[in-house]
Amino acid sequence: MRSMGGEQVEQAVASCTALLRAAVDRDWEGVKAGRLDWNCRETAEHIASDLLAYAGQLAGRPQSAYVPFGITLDEGTGAAAVLDVIEATGALLAAAVRTTPRAVRAFHPYPFRSANREGFAAMGVAEVLLHTHDIAEGLGLAYEPPAELCDAVLTGIFPQVRPGPAPWPTLLWATGRGELPDRAPVTEWRWHNTPVIPAGRLTLEGVSPAAARDLSLGGDGGFEWIDGGPFDGTREAAGMVVAAYEQGVYRPEWGLYVLVRTEDGRAVGGMGFHGTPDEEGRAEIGYDLAEAARGRGYATEALRALADRALARDEVRSLFAVVDRDNSASHGVVLRAGFRPTSAADDNNGSGQGDTGGDQVAYELRG
């Protein structure tokens, strides 16, 4: 998998400036940019400002707010010079993405209060593509960026959006700039960076649909794995994420997390949910570890952290896990994490909760 990175930022900026340089002799200040309240010049300045801000976040790595600085252009700066600034700030973001370690996160408000380098790259690409569209619309230009860039944005920071007939129209629809058949117009929107959960010696890092797709196809998902990883269960769980995304029902906090060791940044396993909580507030949880990481307490630490976070939510009443009867290690994990066996009969609702009467045992943890 080619992770969203500096190359994609550069590609987006190149698509922007190649189009707009052909129109620098037009009136950018007297024309609104698409449906925005800004004129075309103000919108171009906004692109540059966002690229610089994202580069600043990755460079400064603040955890609670944006680095308090901005961009100011000299009075009388024309359209051609503004495009020069977009190229310069795009290069700064690309460089910041390339030189920032994978595990580093910096503040961004939506919706989990931080983003990693892939997230800032995806947001930068989105700003360039969407606002180039706005400017082009105001100037009467046709614009369609590379499909692979649009797909990378959608699968990276729009995990809640069901794929449409093509990536670019879907991205425009998802941001209130276009229409799709059989879908209501979008009036409010925001992108979603992946969640992270600290868990002692581990960090649980949420898996985007882009990373899940790569994992399900045999790739590494953008993570550096210990020997033997990822295990088959993690790849199967990644396939569940992809299926949920394609159906438009995926929600990042109820998906797959990769367990990353804080000491060396290497992934040791996967853990997550089989879907969002049902109408009774129950959610099923599953996990696995690469063989080389077993027997060290990692799964117990991660399960406690993930369960605590889930049960703190108002819509969750209980969690359950189904364990093979002969998997003594996994029985120990759920018991140490506070789960208890349940003898309730299988209610045939597809949850798998209760004594299956066969080769598996169900455990439950209530809030």
The number of beta carbons lying within 10 Å of the beta carbon of residue 356 is 14
Q: Report the side by side order of strands in the sheet with 202-206.
A: 196-199, 202-206, 256-261, 267-273, 282-289, 318-324, 360-366, 340-341
Q: Does the residue 285 lie in any domain? A: yes
pLDDT tens digits, 329-349: 999 999 999 999 985 434 433
Q: Identify whether residues 149 and 202 lie together within a single domain.
A: no
Task: Say if CB 53 and CB 43 are below 8 A apart.
Answer: no
Q: Identify whether residues 160 and 229 lie together within a single domain.
A: no
pLDDT of 148 reads: 96
Q: Does the residue 250 lie in any domain? A: yes
In order of 34, 144, 159, 341, the CA distances from 136 in angstroms are 8, 10, 27, 61
pLDDT of 352 reads: 41
Q: Identify whether residues 215 and 152 lie together within a single domain.
A: no
The number of beta carbons lying within 10 Å of the beta carbon of residue 1 is 13
The answer, yes or no, to whether residue 2 has pLDDT greater than 80, is: no
Q: Which domain holds residue 332?
A: 196-366
Task: Give me the amino acid identity at 329.
Answer: A
pLDDT tens digits, 109-127: 988 999 999 999 999 999 9
State the total domains in the chain.
2
Q: Identify whether residues 280 and 327 lie together within a single domain.
A: yes
Q: Taking the chain, what is the end-to-end CA distance rounded to the nearest angstrom?
A: 38
Q: Identify whether residues 222 and 124 lie together within a single domain.
A: no
Q: What is the enclosing helix (H) or strand (E) of 288?
A: strand 282-289
pLDDT of 342 reads: 87
Q: Stretch 62-79: mean pLDDT, rounded?
A: 95
- pTM as predicted: 0.92
Give the CATH number for residue 208.
Answer: 3.40.630.30
**Domain C-terminal end among 174, 208, 240:** 174
Interior angle at CA 228, CA 223 and CA 231, nearest 5? 75
Q: What is the DSSP letter of 138?
A: H
Query: How many residues in the chain?
Result: 367
Q: Identify whether residues 170 and 234 lie together within a single domain.
A: no
Mean pLDDT (the chain) is 94
